[in-house]
Amino acid sequence: MFYGGISGGLRAVEHLRPVFAEVHAMTIRDTVSFANAWDHFAPDGSLVDPKRGEEAIAILLDRLHWWAEALRRARTERPWHRIAA
């Protein structure tokens, strides 16, 4: 069962963004989404045209890696628990 139809679930994800902000989590805007997913997957679950998905996941992982490194440095230099509320 696929979720989201033409939006590929993006609207549901966008509704979670303020929830994550409340718990001080960093979000990224890049996604891997397949609008009308049933058109993109073969009966065995493999992608019909993997190039699009591979490009999107490469961008997402690159941005995620950048944030992971930046946040690791920030937490080392100034731990979160030391910031006054």
**4/15 Cα distance (integer angstroms):** 13
Answer yes or no: is pLDDT of 17 > 90. no
Q: Which residues neighbour 12 within 8 Å (Cβ) at sequence distance 6 or greater?
A: 3, 4
pLDDT exceeding 90 applies to what percent of the chain? 25
Confidence at 1, pLDDT banded by 50, 70, 90 = very low
**Average pLDDT, rounded, for the chain:** 83
